[in-house]
Amino acid sequence: MLQRLYNLLLLFREYVVLSVLLLVSLTLLALNDNPQMKRIRGITAVVFGVVQERLAVFPRYIGLRRENDELRRINIELADEVNQLREARLENIRLRQLLGLKESSPYGLVAAKVIGKNLTLLRNTITLNVGTRDSVVDGMPVVGDGGLVGVISHASEQYSIVRVLLNTDFRASAKVQRSRVDGIIAWDGRSLLLTNITKTLDVRPGDVVITSEYSTTYPPNIRIGVVNDVQEQTGLLFKKVSVTPGVDFVKLEEVFVMKYRPDPERRVLEQQATQRPRR
């Protein structure tokens, strides 16, 4: 062991001697009370202080970067929490509105959530998370806080499809609430229209349109929308009456399915009356 240490000292003897001499020199400088040496020591201390201050920037930079990353993470978490609270508040408002609808309806209602939308075609539909196990069957009306949404066209055990107002296959007997003028509500692929309105009938922009007693699918007095435009059509007997739906289908999230079924006796009787008499 001693031999190995001796060999290392011989191998690095120049560096060892230099280190010893530097140590002795520094010791002598530290013990020297000469004014010039004091001045040199003062200057050296200042230089080392400045260098140390400059080098201290790097640890502070690293610490600030870590702190910034932590604050950014906390900010993201808080923003997410705020969004969840805002969403809960909006959902609470919608549910309160729907609760008011439920309390005012004389028919049994099944609450449902919209889980799918198809609003870019001529035959637009939405999908609900209720089905036959919830007593939902084909032909039942669907309403929202803004009024009539549509009618159940297909139902499985857990899901159902709604044919909405904005569907070219949709038809409903309707009337103007103010003047009691009757018509048929339909969608032509671009606008929701109240059809079969002759030029002599009293219909004005701002009139509320509701379902009428003549419908065999929908109960009366369900809000459909508001008349936004009435145009005279040259050479035709009927006006073009455009209606703005009361329901915003883009934002629609919760609805009620009405447990309403038309009177079968009335339907059978009306079908018999429209058939040709037998000879």
Contacts of 37 (CB under 8 A, 6+ apart): 29
Per-residue model confidence (pLDDT) at position 15: 67
224, with CB counted inside 10 A (0-12, 13-18, 19+), is buried
Beta strand 192-195 with 208-211 is unpaired
* DSSP 3-state of 93: helix
Whose tokens are 């569907």? That residue is: 167
Contact 162, 118 (CB under 8 A): no
* DSSP 3-state of 129: coil
Q: Tell me, what DSSP letter sits at residue 116?
A: E
Whole-angstrom distance, CA of residue 175 vs CA of residue 178: 9
Per-residue model confidence (pLDDT) at position 99: 60
Beta strand 182-187 with 240-245 is unpaired
Contact 184, 209 (CB under 8 A): no
Query: How many angstroms separate the Cα of 200 from the Cα of each of 196, 230, 238?
Result: 11, 12, 9
- Annotated domain spans of the chain: 109-261
Per-residue model confidence (pLDDT) at position 102: 56
Q: What is the mean pLDDT of each run of 10 residues along the chain (279 residues)?
A: 67 68 64 62 63 60 71 72 65 57 69 92 93 93 90 95 95 93 94 94 94 88 93 89 94 89 73 63
Whole-angstrom distance, CA of residue 132 vs CA of residue 141: 14
Per-residue model confidence (pLDDT) at position 83: 63
Confidence (pTM): 0.62
Per-residue model confidence (pLDDT) at position 47: 63
Fold of 109-261: Thrombin, subunit H (2.40.10)
Per-residue model confidence (pLDDT) at position 89: 64
Whole-angstrom distance, CA of residue 162 vs CA of residue 150: 6
Per-residue model confidence (pLDDT) at position 226: 95
Whole-angstrom distance, CA of residue 28 vs CA of residue 19: 14
